[in-house]
């Protein structure tokens, strides 16, 4: 037994001696690329499509095993066209990845692409803008994208790609501005689009007092993991929608704490995250006292 163990250990040592630096680098790069692909698949659109592709391949494999020649032939032809269809369907995502790879910001493909200070500035400018718009009763709808990408919503509006700032947000939602009725979508600390159209909530239990802006904000939170900030044009109250639930009548300090808990990378203990979750336990889906927007 000991002789076999010695032989095995000898084989392992000889194998480890054959490993070179290039082999380690090769495995590391493959791991990074695989991680990025899995992170990309986490978006609901890609995840659901991937499930469909796997089911399709399973049926194709079974039809080949059981010699279902007709089905196998048809599905084989569908595979040929399916690759082209996938490229067309995900053309925006593929283009964005290629642009990042071909740009000077190659590091964005391998890193998160934003710093803690940039996100903190985003939160601070958002809270400042919402506070001032609340006092002037200027309606606003701000969507903070998280894991689930909102490219379809962005395409419904105007592409901006600008830093989040107090003045820019107030100018966008100024009552006579052309994009004030739509939503602003923020991705990784930058305003990606403005004047964007959002899906309305299908929750029949929502209060009739809630206007279109609140219903759109709740609907967006129902269909994604986004954090949606809403400023009422009628009352000036500030609300936040997460997961189809609405937290209303927020003070600026509460809004800032909530956005920090939900949007900033957590370096403290998980208790900070739990605090943000517990603050949402009192959320009512139907909302309360706002009238209209």
pLDDT tens per residue, range 212-231: 999 999 999 999 999 999 99
User: Is pLDDT at 16 greater than 90 in this prediction?
Assistant: no
Residue positions counted in the chain: 293
User: Is pLDDT at 162 greater than 70 in this prediction?
Assistant: yes
Q: For residue 15, which phi and psi values (nearest 5 degrees)?
A: -65, -45
Higher per-residue pLDDT: 104 or 91: 91
pLDDT of 113 reads 44
pLDDT of 288 reads 44
| For residues 9-34, average pLDDT | 83
pLDDT of 97 reads 60
Query: How far is residue 36's CA from residue 46's CA, in Å, rounded to a whole number?
Result: 13
For the chain, strand residue ranges (E) read 140-144, 158-163, 183-187, 190-196, 227-231, 238-242, 245-247
Q: Which class for 50: exposed (0-12), middle (13-18), buried (19 or more C-beta within 10 A)?
A: exposed
The mean of the pLDDT values for the chain is 80
Three-state DSSP at 225 gives coil
User: Is pLDDT at 105 greater than 50 in this prediction?
Assistant: no
- The string of DSSP codes covering 230-255 is EE-TTT--EEEEETTEEE-S--HHHH
pLDDT of 273 reads 45
pLDDT of 7 reads 79
Query: How far is residue 172's CA from residue 183's CA, in Å, rounded to a whole number?
Result: 9
pLDDT of 14 reads 82
Higher per-residue pLDDT: 15 or 122: 122
Beta pairing, strands 140-144 & 227-231: antiparallel
pLDDT of 291 reads 41
Q: Range with the lowest mean pLDDT among 86-90, 102-106, 167-171, 235-239? A: 102-106
Residue identified by tokens 């040592």 is 13
Task: Work out the angle between the directed axes of helices 116-136 and 252-263 (0-180°, nearest 10).
Answer: 150
Find residue 286's DSSP bridge partners.
none
Residue 282's pLDDT band (boundaries 50, 70, 90)?
Answer: very low
pLDDT of 48 reads 64
- The string of DSSP codes covering 57-87 is HHHHHHHHHTT-HHHHHHHHHHHHHHHHHHH
Query: How far is residue 231's CA from residue 12's CA, in Å, rounded to a whole number?
Result: 64
* Start-end of CATH 3.40.1700.10 domains in the chain: 116-278
| For residues 160-171, average pLDDT | 94
User: Is pLDDT at 107 greater than 60 in this prediction?
Assistant: no
116-278 placed in CATH 3.40.50.970: no
């Amino acid at each position: 037994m000991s002789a076999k163990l010695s032989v095995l250990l000898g084989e392992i040592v000889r194998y480890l001696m054959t490993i070179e630096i290039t082999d380690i680098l090769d495995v590391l790069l493959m791991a990074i690329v695989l991680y990025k692909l899995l992170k990309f698949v986490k978006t609901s659109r890609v995840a659901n499509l991937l499930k469909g592709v796997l089911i399709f391949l399973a049926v194709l494999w079974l039809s080949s095993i059981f010699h279902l020649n007709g089905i196998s032939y048809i599905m084989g032809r569908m595979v040929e066209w399916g690759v082209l269809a996938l490229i067309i369907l995900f053309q925006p995502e593929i283009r964005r990845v290629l642009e990042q790879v071909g740009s000077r910001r190659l590091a964005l493909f391998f890193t998160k692409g934003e710093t803690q200070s940039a996100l903190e500035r985003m939160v601070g400018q958002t809270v400042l803008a919402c506070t001032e718009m609340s006092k002037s009763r200027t309606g606003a709808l701000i969507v903070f994208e998280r894991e689930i990408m909102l490219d379809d919503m962005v395409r419904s509006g105007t592409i901006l790609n600008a830093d989040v700032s107090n003045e820019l947000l107030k100018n966008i939602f100024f009552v006579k501005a052309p994009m004030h009725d739509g939503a602003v979508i923020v991705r990784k600390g930058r305003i990606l689009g403005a004047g964007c159209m959002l899906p309305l909530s299908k929750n029949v239990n929502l209060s009739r007092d809630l206007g279109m802006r609140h219903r759109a904000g709740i609907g967006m939170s129902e269909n994604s993991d986004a954090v949606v900030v809403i400023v009422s044009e009628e009352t000036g109250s500030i609300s936040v929608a997460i997961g189809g639930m609405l937290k209303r009548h927020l003070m600026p300090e509460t809004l800032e704490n909530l956005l920090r808990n939900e949007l900033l990378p957590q370096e403290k203990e998980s208790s900070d995250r739990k605090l943000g979750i517990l603050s949402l336990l009192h959320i009512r889906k139907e909302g309360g006292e706002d009238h209209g927007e």
